Chains A and B, each alone.
Chain A
Amino acid sequence: GAGVSQSPSNKVTEKGKDVELRCDPISGHTALYWYRQSLGQGLEFLIYFQGNSAPDKSGLPSDRFSAERTGGSVSTLTIQRTQQEDSAVYLCASSSRQGAYGYTFGSGTRLTVV
């Protein structure tokens, strides 16, 4: 597509529920990144994909967080048993050259856990 697409744009969920966040990167971009942005904070790295593999998942906060990427394209970030501290904007970005020259970000998914 023309840009990085994320869905849903907004998600309100009850504490303890599981959620799935989807990212459609720019076609042909091999590198894909997930970041989290809490209110008034900078961007926190979560995980990096090169193709379908994740060489760096060091930013995932806990084992409740997981992500996968299939076909070298779409990625899903799953949060199990959501907690209120998981409330944030989850941003996905893609790049054609492992992030060289910067990423193209999607508009994010705003997750609110109530």
Chain B
Amino acid sequence: GESVGLHLPTLSVQEGDNSIINCAYSNSASDYFIWYKQESGKGPQFIIDIRSNMDKRQGQRVTVLLNKTVKHLSLQIAATQPGDSAVYFCAETLGTSGTYKYIFGTGTRLKVLA
């Protein structure tokens, strides 16, 4: 069945280092992907997105990479800060389906060590 998963449930990084969070997706037809950040007690917050016609997209301190060949998505956070500590979810959808129903992974907890 369709699924979105993450390789690492918890990632600990030193403050100032770069973080890489990985995600595998199974639906090769998915054409739109989003990374969300969820802090404790809050709803998920949009970080960055990428469409299937791209392989890289950069934001402020974040970069998303998409490898359609192996159906892999990654989120890179540069110079990780304490405020980056949260759970990160990748989500996929088939935009042409019209409903934009997203499939979310179980999440990776990022812990930033001082």
How distant is the Cα of A43 from the Cα of B89 in the complex, in angstroms?
9
Q: Are B105 and A42 in contact (CB under 8 A)?
A: yes
B104 contacts which chain A residues (CB < 8 A)? Answer: 35, 42-44
B100 contacts which chain A residues (CB < 8 A)? Answer: 31, 95, 98-100
Q: Are A40 and B106 in contact (CB under 8 A)?
A: yes
B93 within 8 A of A: yes
B99 contacts which chain A residues (CB < 8 A)? Answer: 48, 50, 55-56, 98-99
Q: Are A42 and B106 in contact (CB under 8 A)?
A: yes
A50 contacts which chain B residues (CB < 8 A)? Answer: 99
Q: Are A93 and B101 in contact (CB under 8 A)?
A: no
Number of B interface residues at 8 Å Cβ cutoff, please give it: 25
Which B residues, 84 to 102, have Cβ-Cβ distances below 8 Å to chain A?
A: 89, 91, 93, 95, 98-102
Q: Are A108 and B43 in contact (CB under 8 A)?
A: yes
**Which stretch from B44-52, B54-62, B63-71, B74-82 is at the chain A interface?**
B44-52
A27 within 8 A of B: no
Residue in contact with B43 in the complex, picked from A55, A93, A95, A98, CB distance below 8 Å: A93
Q: Told that A45-B103, A108-B43 touch, could you supply 8 new A-B pairs with CB distance under 8 A?
A: A42-B105, A42-B107, A43-B44, A99-B93, A99-B99, A102-B46, A107-B42, A108-B42
Sample of 16 A–B contacts (CB below 8 Å): A35-B104, A40-B106, A41-B106, A42-B4, A42-B105, A43-B91, A48-B101, A55-B99, A56-B99, A99-B93, A99-B102, A100-B95, A102-B34, A102-B36, A102-B46, A107-B43
Interface set of A (CB-CB < 8 Å, partner B): 4, 31, 33, 35, 40-45, 48, 50, 55-56, 91, 93, 95, 98-108
